[in-house]
């Protein structure tokens, strides 16, 4: 059966935003601690900004300032906004879903302001968007995707027919826990890693997923 709806993560699925985020982390870290920030481990990709802030602070033994770094990074992300790079297939996919009147939206661990800024500057067709402030528990909790699905009008018995596009293991776990169908996008992890985490199918980008569905 064709899916009833499509839910999208943002970073790594819709856009390549690593430089946008890491630049903001770097400048905020420098302002707060006057020292160079550590590299971000792959295992932290897709996690909530608070967990990432905690990691960066732990490297220099400053865990007590985790929340301070989190809010400062959010401020830098907004005031020094860098437009992320749009990944292939997004426009084609969303145009198709709009034409077919199939519900879709974004649920991300990124902040709401970053999502809104990015969507505006890239002129993307997303009207239902949830960021990390919208959940009590961010991914890997299923709350993000359950919140989005219900906002789109879906009931619990529809969840098994909803596809979720995710590039991270954290998000894939959230999709599974929500009782929906995880579909991997291999911008961060390879096909084997994503399938091991629970992805039913894996595509390089949304373009290949769009082509697969429209055939």
CATH number for position 120: 3.40.50.1000
pTM of the model: 0.87
Shared domain for 111 and 33, answered yes or no, is no
Structure tokens belonging to residue 79: 């005031």
Alpha-carbon gap, residue 106 to 94, rounded angstroms: 11
Q: d(Cα 121, Cα 113) in Å, to the nearest integer?
A: 12
Q: Residues 106, 179: one domain?
A: yes
Q: Say if residue 51 is in the same domain as residue 151.
A: no
Q: Which residues 6+ apart lie within 8 Å of 99 measured at CB?
A: none
Domain that includes residue 30, residue range: 18-79
Number of domain units in the chain: 2
Q: How many CB atoms lie within 10 A of CB 27?
A: 18
- State how far the alpha carbon of 13 is from the alpha carbons of 66, 136, 213, in Å: 27, 23, 17
Regarding whether 207 and 187 lie in a shared domain, the answer is yes
Would you give per-residue pLDDT tens digits along the chain (215 residues)? Answer: 799 999 999 999 999 998 898 999 999 999 999 999 999 998 888 788 899 999 999 999 999 999 999 999 989 988 888 899 999 999 999 999 999 999 999 999 999 999 999 999 999 999 999 999 999 999 999 999 999 999 999 999 999 999 999 999 999 999 999 999 999 999 999 999 999 999 999 999 999 999 999 98
Both 9 and 33 in a single domain?
no
Beta-strand runs (E) in the chain: 5-8, 15-16, 85-86, 104-107, 129-130, 162-166, 181-185, 201-203
Rounded CA-CA distance 161/152 in Å is 14
Alpha helices in 34-142, H assignment, sequence order: 49-59, 66-79, 90-99, 112-122
Q: Indicate if 203 and 117 belong to the same structural domain.
A: yes
70 plus 88 within the same structural domain: no
Residue among 130, 26, 20 at smallest CA distance from 81 = 20
10 and 24 inside one domain: no
Which of 79, 98, 115 delimits the end of a domain?
A: 79
Beta strand 104-107 with 85-86 is unpaired
Query: Within this chain, do residues 113 and 149 fall inside the same structural domain, yes or no?
Result: yes
Same domain, 92 and 174: yes
Residues 112 and 195 in one domain: yes
Domain finish residue from 57, 79, 101: 79
Report the 10 Å Cβ neighbour count for 65: 16
196 and 210 co-located in one domain: yes
Last residue of a domain, one of 29, 54, 79: 79
């Amino acid at each position: 059966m064709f899916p009833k709806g499509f839910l999208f993560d943002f970073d790594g699925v819709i856009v390549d935003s690593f430089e946008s985020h890491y630049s903001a982390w770097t400048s905020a870290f420098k302002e707060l601690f006057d020292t160079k920030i550590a590299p971000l481990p792959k295992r932290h990709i897709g996690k909530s900004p608070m967990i990432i802030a905690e990691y960066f602070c732990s490297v220099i033994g400053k865990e007590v300032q985790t929340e301070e770094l989190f809010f400062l990074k959010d401020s830098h992300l907004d005031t020094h906004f860098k437009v992320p790079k749009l990944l292939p297939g997004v426009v084609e996919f969303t145009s198709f879903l709009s034409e077919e009147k199939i519900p879709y939206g974004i649920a991300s661990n990124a902040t709401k302001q970053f999502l809104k800024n990015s969507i505006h500057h890239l002129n993307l067709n997303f009207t239902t968007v949830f960021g990390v402030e919208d959940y009590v528990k961010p991914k890997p909790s299923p709350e993000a995707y359950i919140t989005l699905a219900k906002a789109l009008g879906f009931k619990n018995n529809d969840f098994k027919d909803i596809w979720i596009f995710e590039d991270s293991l954290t998000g894939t776990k959230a999709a599974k826990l929500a009782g929906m169908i995880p579909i991997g996008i291999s911008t961060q992890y390879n096909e084997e890693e994503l399938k091991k985490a629970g992805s039913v199918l894996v595509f390089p980008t949304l373009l290949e997923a769009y082509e697969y569905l429209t055939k």
